[in-house]
C-alpha cells in the first residue's frame, strides 16, 4: 500500500481513520502535509472514494499549490477530479454556480483591497467625513471583522453604542449597498455568501454535502467564524471532516481567525478522534530546542513536546549587526559562504522578516553581490496601476455594473472627463436610481431626454466622450465570445488607446508596458479554457491568487518573505532578521497581551521553518523612513538560553560585526550538513571572490593586486542589471574593489567588483 509507506504509527492512524470526524494536532515539521496527501491517496486508492467527492481546503494559495503538486506525484491521473484550493477560491466557485439562489450575479466581481479602499473613500466623502480623521482602512477593517464573525449590518447596528461603532454601522450598511449595486463581493462576502446560501437553501446545501463527502481543512487554527460555519454545514451530513491544525502556530487573529474553532469542532463533532503528531522530521535538535524555549513561555498552552530523532546539529547563530545594511551584508556573505562550501544551494536559503518593508535592504545587498533571489509577496504585481487599469477594462466587459472599475478607467487614457463631469454623472445616475453604466448607456443611446428623466447635466463634449466610452465597452463585449482572453486583451489595449497612452508617457511607460507583457503571458495560459468561462476564470484567478511571482521558476535563488508567508514551508537554512523590539515583536503589539502572544507564535513559526541551520539577527540601528531608530534586541532572544546560541561564533562562521572590527571566526566547526549538498549547477552565478576565499583574514589579507583599482572616476561602464553608467568613485578594500557608479536612469549604486560583473565600455 503506497499510501502507507514510510509513515510512523501516529501518521498511519491519521491516514487510515477515514470515517467520521478527525482532529489532527500537528506540530511543526511533523509531516502534516504528508499525512494529508497520503490520506487523500488512501481514500482514493484503498477505499475507492471518487476524487470527485473530496474537498481539501487550505489557507493560502501557496499551500494549495503545493498540495496539488504532491497529490499529482502520488496519485497521478487517478487523482483527477480532486478539489484543492483556498477557502475563498472554493467559495467563489460555489457562488458562481449557485449564488443566484440568493441574488448573486454569476458575473460578480471580487473587490480586492484597493477596490475596497476607493469605495470606502467615496462613501466617506458622500457622508462629508474627512478621510484624514476617519481612516478608510480602519472602517474597512472593522467591517471585515464583523463580516468574519457573520454579523450583518443589522446585527452590527443593534450592538453599536457610541460614536465610532454607530458610524461604522452606517458605513457598513452603505458599503454593502454599494457592493450590491456594483454586482461586487469583497473577500469576506465570498465566505458569507456561501454560509447564507447553505443556510437559506436546503437543496443547495444537500447538493454540496453529497458532492463533498470528504472534507480536509488545513491550518484549522486559522479559520474564522464564517469559515468554521462553512465546514460545520458542509460536513454536517457525512461527518467525514478532517481538521488539521496547531494552536501554537495561530498567527492570523488580526484577520479574525479564531483558534477556538478547534474546540468548537470538538464540541460540534463529539464523536471525533484525535491524533497527535509530535515527532519532528524537519529540524535538528538544536533548532527544536530554540523553538521549544520560545513557545514554552506562551501562556495557557497544553504542554506539548516536540521531539526528533535527528542529530543535534549546530547551535543557532545570533548576530548583532550595526544597521540594516550590515545585517543584510551578513546574510548575503553567509549565504555566499554556504554555497561556496557546497553546504547549500541558494534555493536552500530563506530570509524571513516581520514586515515587507524590510526586504529592501536585503534586496540591495543581494543585487550588489549579484546573487539571484526571489521575493515572495511585497508589492504585488496585480496592484500595479497599469495592471489594475487593464483588468478594470476586462472586468467591465464581463460586468459593466462594476462602477469601481468603470470610474477607474473611464478617463484612462484621458478622454477629457474630469472630476467635475464624473461627479455630475454619478449624481445624475443616483437621482434616477440606476447604475453608472445604465446612465451612461441611456446617454449614449440618446434616451436621456425621456420624460421623467432628470436633465442631463453634462456638456456636449462630455456626453460625446461618454458615448465613445460606451461604444468601446460594447464593442469589446460583442467581441468577447469569439476571442481568447489574450486576443481580447490585445484588442482592448489597441482600441482603448491604452497601449499608445503608455508608450507615449515619458518616464516609466516602458517598464509598465513590460509589466503588461507579463499579464499577456498570464492571459495566454487561458487559451485552452472553455471560452465561455475563460475570461471569468482569468479575472478570478488574478484577484484571488495575488502572488504571481511565486511561480517557482526552478532557478536557483534565495527566498525572501515575511514570517507570515513562511508558514507551512521549510528551508535547510533560515535567517530571521530584524529581531528587535518594535519590529518583532511589532510596535502595534506591545500594549496588547494577546497580540504579543501572537508575536511569539510568529517567531516560533519562523524558527521551526529551519531544517539544519538557523541564523538570528538584530541591528543596533535601523533606518525607518526618514529617521534612524535604535532598538533593543527582541525580548524573544532573551528567552533562549545562551547555551543554545552561538553568539558571534558560528557553525558557519561569518563576518565582522562592523566593517573592520571583526573577530576572526572559527572555521573548524563548520561542517553543518549531515549529507553534503550536490555541488551547485555547472554554471555558477557566484564567482568565488578572492576577498572571502579565506575567512580568517578578513582584516589583514593584502589585496592581491594592491593599489591598482580597475576602475577610476569618469570611466564608462556597463552592468547587466543596471545598464550603462559612469564611475563616481572606486575604493580598494582587502582584495576587493568597491565601485560607486552612477547609472543612467537607475541612480547611484555601490558595487562590489568581486561579485558584480562590471565591464568597461
Partner DNA sequence: GCCTCTGGATTTTTT
Partner DNA sequence: ATCCAGAGGC
Q: How far is CA 514 from CA 95, 509, 520, in A?
A: 34, 9, 10
| Site membership for DNA, residue 88 (CB under 7 A) | yes
Q: Of residues 11, 16, 17, 33, which has the active-site annotation? A: 33
Local structure of residue 315 (DSSP, 8 states): P
432: nearest Cα among 441, 398, 115, 472:
441
Q: Which three cell numbers stand for residue 478?
A: 460583442
Write out the binding residues for DNA, residues 533-572 only, by CB under 7 A: 544, 546-547, 561-562, 564-565
| 609 catalytic per annotation | yes
Number of other residues whose CB lies within 10 A of the CB of residue 108: 26
Q: Which of 221, 284, 421, 435 binds DNA (CB under 7 A)?
A: 421
| Site membership for DNA, residue 131 (CB under 7 A) | yes
Rounded least distance, CB 187 to DNA, Å? 4
| Site membership for DNA, residue 249 (CB under 7 A) | no
Q: Which of 100, 517, 553, 587 binds DNA (CB under 7 A)?
A: 587
Local structure of residue 304 (DSSP, 8 states): -
Distance separating alpha carbons of residues 414 and 469, to the nearest angstrom: 11
Q: Which three cell numbers stand for residue 214?
A: 470528504
Of 347 and 564, CB closest to DNA: 564
Contact present, 425 and 415 (Cβ < 8 Å): no
Only segment of 31-39, 159-167, 419-427, 659-667 that touches DNA (CB under 7 A): 419-427
Write the Ramachandran bin of 622: left for phi over 0, alpha for psi from -120 to 50, otherwise beta. Answer: beta
Contact present, 173 and 153 (Cβ < 8 Å): yes
Q: Of residues 112, 196, 219, 327, which has the active-site annotation? A: 219
Beta strands in 63-126, from DSSP E residues, in sequence order: 83-86, 109-111
Of 111 and 711, CB closest to DNA: 111
| 385 catalytic per annotation | no
Q: Which of 211, 232, 586, 718 binds DNA (CB under 7 A)?
A: 586
Rounded least distance, CB 574 to DNA, Å? 16
Question: What secondary structure does DSSP assign to 112-162, as a single string?
Answer: -HHHHHHHHHHHHHHTT--TTTS-HHHHHHHHHHHHHTT--HHHHHHH--S
Rounded least distance, CB 572 to DNA, Å? 22
Distance separating alpha carbons of residues 275 and 11, to the nearest angstrom: 8
Only segment of 72-80, 568-576, 587-595, 637-645 that touches DNA (CB under 7 A): 587-595
Of 625 and 707, CB closest to DNA: 625
Distance separating alpha carbons of residues 300 and 298, to the nearest angstrom: 7
| Site membership for DNA, residue 417 (CB under 7 A) | yes
Beta strands in 124-187, from DSSP E residues, in sequence order: 184-186
Rounded least distance, CB 565 to DNA, Å? 4
Only segment of 48-56, 98-106, 409-417, 708-716 that touches DNA (CB under 7 A): 409-417
| Site membership for DNA, residue 500 (CB under 7 A) | no
757: nearest Cα among 735, 744, 741:
741
Phi and psi, residue 243, nearest 5°: -105, 130
Q: Which of 3, 36, 39, 59 binds DNA (CB under 7 A)?
A: 59
| Site membership for DNA, residue 62 (CB under 7 A) | yes
| Site membership for DNA, residue 712 (CB under 7 A) | no
Q: How far is CA 289 from CA 26, 285, 296, 357, in A?
A: 18, 6, 10, 30
Contact present, 222 and 195 (Cβ < 8 Å): no
| Site membership for DNA, residue 589 (CB under 7 A) | yes
Of 78 and 742, CB closest to DNA: 742
Local structure of residue 700 (DSSP, 8 states): T
| Site membership for DNA, residue 254 (CB under 7 A) | yes
Of 132 and 202, CB closest to DNA: 132
Q: Which of 89, 198, 428, 615 binds DNA (CB under 7 A)?
A: 89
| Binding letters toward DNA, positions 310-349, x by CB under 7 A | ----------------------------------------
Rounded least distance, CB 289 to DNA, Å? 26
126: nearest Cα among 141, 137, 136, 114:
136
Write out the binding residues for DNA, residues 357-396 only, by CB under 7 A: 357, 377
Q: Which three cell numbers stand for residue 567?
A: 508558514
| Site membership for DNA, residue 18 (CB under 7 A) | no
Number of other residues whose CB lies within 10 A of the CB of residue 45: 17
**3-class SS at 594?**
helix
Only segment of 363-371, 532-540, 620-628, 690-698 that touches DNA (CB under 7 A): 620-628
| Binding letters toward DNA, positions 442-471, x by CB under 7 A | --------------------x---------
Distance separating alpha carbons of residues 49 and 73, to the nearest angstrom: 18
Contact present, 55 and 215 (Cβ < 8 Å): yes
Number of residues that bind DNA (CB under 7 A): 50
Rounded least distance, CB 651 to DNA, Å? 29
Q: Which of 17, 30, 33, 61 binds DNA (CB under 7 A)?
A: 61
Q: Which of 145, 255, 273, 685 binds DNA (CB under 7 A)?
A: 255
Write out the binding residues for DNA, residues 178-237 only, by CB under 7 A: 187-188
Only segment of 31-39, 320-328, 581-589, 665-673 that touches DNA (CB under 7 A): 581-589
| Site membership for DNA, residue 418 (CB under 7 A) | yes
Q: Which of 337, 415, 609, 719 binds DNA (CB under 7 A)?
A: 415
Contact present, 67 and 56 (Cβ < 8 Å): yes
Of 25 and 64, CB closest to DNA: 64
Write out the binding residues for DNA, residues 343-362 only, by CB under 7 A: 354-357
| 32 catalytic per annotation | yes
Q: Of residues 115, 218, 248, 556, which has the active-site annotation? A: 218
| 173 catalytic per annotation | no
| Site membership for DNA, residue 420 (CB under 7 A) | yes
Which residue intervals of 505-651 are DSSP H helices?
509-524, 531-544, 563-566, 593-607, 635-638
Residues making up the chain, counted from first to last: 761
Residue 523, CB-side half-sphere exposure with 13 Å CA sphere? 23
Of 418 and 659, CB closest to DNA: 418
Q: Which of 5, 77, 419, 460 binds DNA (CB under 7 A)?
A: 419
Of 13 and 131, CB closest to DNA: 131
| Site membership for DNA, residue 121 (CB under 7 A) | yes
| Site membership for DNA, residue 595 (CB under 7 A) | yes
What does the H/E/C string look like for 646-677?
EECCCCCCCCCCCCCCCCCCCCCCCCCCCCCC
Contact present, 488 and 520 (Cβ < 8 Å): no
560: nearest Cα among 724, 335, 238, 759:
335
Rounded least distance, CB 385 to DNA, Å? 7
Number of other residues whose CB lies within 10 A of the CB of residue 705: 12
Distance separating alpha carbons of residues 336 and 30, to the nearest angstrom: 30
Rounded least distance, CB 222 to DNA, Å? 10
Q: How far is CA 372 from CA 332, 354, 365, 560, in A?
A: 11, 22, 11, 11
| 724 catalytic per annotation | no
Q: Of residues 60, 209, 249, 308, which has the active-site annotation? A: 249
Q: Are strands 628-629 and 622-623 parallel, antiparallel or unpaired?
A: antiparallel
Q: How far is CA 310 from CA 280, 286, 288, 611, 675, in A?
A: 8, 10, 10, 10, 12
Rounded least distance, CB 626 to DNA, Å? 5
Give the contacts of 103 (CB within 8 A, at least 6 positions apart). none
Q: Which of 97, 296, 312, 416 binds DNA (CB under 7 A)?
A: 416
Q: Which of 414, 446, 555, 659 binds DNA (CB under 7 A)?
A: 414
Residue numbers at the binding site for DNA (CB under 7 A)? 59-62, 86-89, 112-113, 121, 131-132, 135, 137, 187-188, 251, 254-255, 354-357, 377, 411, 414-421, 462, 544, 546-547, 561-562, 564-565, 586-589, 595, 624-626
Which sequence positions are flagged as catalytic?
A: 32-33, 218-219, 249, 609
Amino acid at each position: 500500500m503506497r499510501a502507507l509507506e514510510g509513515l510512523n504509527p501516529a501518521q498511519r492512524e491519521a491516514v487510515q481513520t477515514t470515517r467520521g470526524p478527525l482532529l489532527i494536532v500537528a506540530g511543526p515539521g511533523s509531516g502534516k502535509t504528508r499525512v494529508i496527501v497520503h490520506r487523500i491517496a488512501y481514500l482514493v486508492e484503498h477505499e475507492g472514494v471518487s476524487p470527485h467527492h473530496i474537498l481539501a481546503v487550505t489557507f493560502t494559495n501557496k499551500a494549495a499549490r503545493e498540495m496539488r503538486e504532491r497529490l499529482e506525484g502520488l496519485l497521478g491521473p487517478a487523482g483527477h477530479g480532486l478539489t484543492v484550493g483556498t477557502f475563498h477560491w472554493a467559495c467563489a466557485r460555489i457562488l458562481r454556480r449557485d449564488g443566484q439562489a440568493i441574488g448573486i450575479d454569476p458575473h460578480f466581481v471580487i473587490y480586492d483591497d484597493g477596490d475596497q479602499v476607493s469605495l470606502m473613500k467615496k462613501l466617506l466623502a458622500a457622508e462629508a467625513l474627512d478621510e484624514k480623521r476617519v481612516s478608510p482602512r480602519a472602517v474597512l477593517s472593522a467591517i471585515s471583522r464583523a463580516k468574519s464573525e457573520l454579523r450583518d449590518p443589522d446585527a452590527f447596528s443593534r450592538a453599536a453604542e457610541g460614536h465610532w461603532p454607530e458610524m461604522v454601522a452606517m458605513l457598513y450598511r452603505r458599503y454593502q449597498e454599494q457592493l450590491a449595486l456594483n454586482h461586487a463581493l469583497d473577500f469576506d462576502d465570498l465566505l458569507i455568501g456561501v454560509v447564507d446560501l447553505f443556510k437559506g437553501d436546503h437543496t443547495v446545501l444537500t447538493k454540496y454535502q453529497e458532492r463533498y463527502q470528504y472534507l480536509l481543512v488545513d491550518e484549522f487554527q486559522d479559520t474564522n467564524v464564517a469559515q468554521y460555519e462553512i465546514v460545520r454545514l458542509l460536513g454536517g451530513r457525512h461527518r467525514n471532516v478532517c481538521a488539521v491544525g496547531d494552536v501554537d502556530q495561530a498567527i492570523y487573529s488580526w484577520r479574525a481567525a479564531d483558534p477556538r474553532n478547534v474546540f468548537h469542532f470538538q464540541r460540534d463533532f463529539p464523536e471525533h478522534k484525535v491524533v497527535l503528531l509530535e515527532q519532528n522530521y524537519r529540524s535538528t535538535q538544536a533548532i527544536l530546542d530554540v523553538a521549544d524555549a520560545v513557545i514554552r513561555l506562551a501562556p495557557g498552552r497544553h504542554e506539548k513536546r516536540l521531539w526528533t530523532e535527528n542529530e543535534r546539529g549546530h547551535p543557532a547563530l545570533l548576530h548583532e549587526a550595526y544597521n540594516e545594511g550590515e545585517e543584510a551584508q551578513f546574510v548575503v556573505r553567509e549565504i555566499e559562504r554556504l554555497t561556496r562550501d557546497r553546504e547549500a544551494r541558494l534555493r536552500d536559503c530563506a530570509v524571513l522578516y516581520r514586515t515587507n518593508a524590510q526586504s529592501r535592504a536585503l534586496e540591495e545587498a543581494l543585487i550588489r553581490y549579484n546573487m539571484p533571489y526571489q521575493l515572495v509577496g511585497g508589492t504585488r504585481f496585480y496592484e500595479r496601476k497599469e495592471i489594475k487599469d487593464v483588468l478594470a477594462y476586462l472586468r467591465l466587459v464581463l460586468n459593466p455594473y462594476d462602477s469601481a472599475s468603470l470610474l477607474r478607467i473611464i478617463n484612462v487614457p484621458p478622454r477629457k472627463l474630469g472630476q467635475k463631469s464624473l461627479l455630475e454623472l454619478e449624481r445624475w445616475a443616483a437621482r434616477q436610481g440606476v447604475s453608472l453604466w445604465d446612465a451612461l448607456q441611456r446617454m449614449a443611446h440618446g434616451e436621456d431626454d425621456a420624460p421623467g428623466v432628470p436633465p442631463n447635466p453634462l456638456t456636449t463634449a462630455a456626453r460625446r466622450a461618454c458615448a465613445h466610452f460606451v461604444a468601446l465597452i460594447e464593442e469589446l463585449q460583442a467581441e468577447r465570445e469569439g476571442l481568447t482572453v489574450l486576443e481580447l486583451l490585445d484588442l482592448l489595449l489597441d482600441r482603448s488607446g491604452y497601449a499608445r497612452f503608455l508608450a507615449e508617457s515619458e518616464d516609466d511607460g516602458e517598464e509598465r508596458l513590460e509589466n503588461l507583457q507579463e499579464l499577456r503571458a498570464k492571459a495566454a495560459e487561458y487559451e485552452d479554457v472553455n471560452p465561455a468561462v475563460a475570461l471569468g476564470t482569468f479575472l478570478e484567478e488574478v484577484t484571488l491568487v495575488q502572488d504571481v511571482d511565486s511561480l517557482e521558476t526552478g532557478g536557483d535563488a534565495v527566498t525572501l518573505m515575511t514570517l507570515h508567508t513562511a508558514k507551512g514551508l521549510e528551508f535547510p537554512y533560515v535567517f530571521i532578521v530584524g529581531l528587535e523590539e518594535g519590529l518583532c515583536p511589532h510596535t502595534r503589539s506591545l500594549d496588547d497581551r494577546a497580540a504579543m502572544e501572537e508575536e511569539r507564535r510568529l517567531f516560533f513559526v519562523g524558527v521551526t521553518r529551519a531544517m539544519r541551520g538557523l541564523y538570528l539577527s538584530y541591528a543596533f540601528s535601523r533606518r525607518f523612513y526618514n529617521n534612524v531608530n535604535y532598538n533593543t534586541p527582541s525580548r524573544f532572544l532573551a528567552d533562549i538560553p545562551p547555551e543554545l546560541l552561538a553568539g558571534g561564533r558560528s557553525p558557519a562562521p561569518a563576518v565582522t560585526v562592523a566593517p573592520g572590527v571583526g573577530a576572526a571566526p572559527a572555521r573548524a566547526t563548520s561542517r553543518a550538513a549531515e549529507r553534503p549538498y550536490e555541488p551547485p549547477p555547472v554554471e555558477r552565478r557566484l564567482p568565488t571572490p578572492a576577498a572571502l576565499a579565506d575567512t580568517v583574514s578578513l582584516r589583514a589579507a593584502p589585496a592581491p593586486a594592491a593599489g591598482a583599482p580597475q576602475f577610476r572616476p569618469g570611466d564608462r561602464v556597463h552592468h547587466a542589471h543596471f545598464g550603462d553608467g559612469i564611475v563616481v568613485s572606486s575604493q580598494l578594500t582587502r582584495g576587493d574593489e568597491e565601485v560607486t557608479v552612477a547609472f543612467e536612469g537607475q541612480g547611484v549604486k555601490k558595487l562590489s567588483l568581486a561579485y558584480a560583473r562590471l565591464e568597461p565600455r
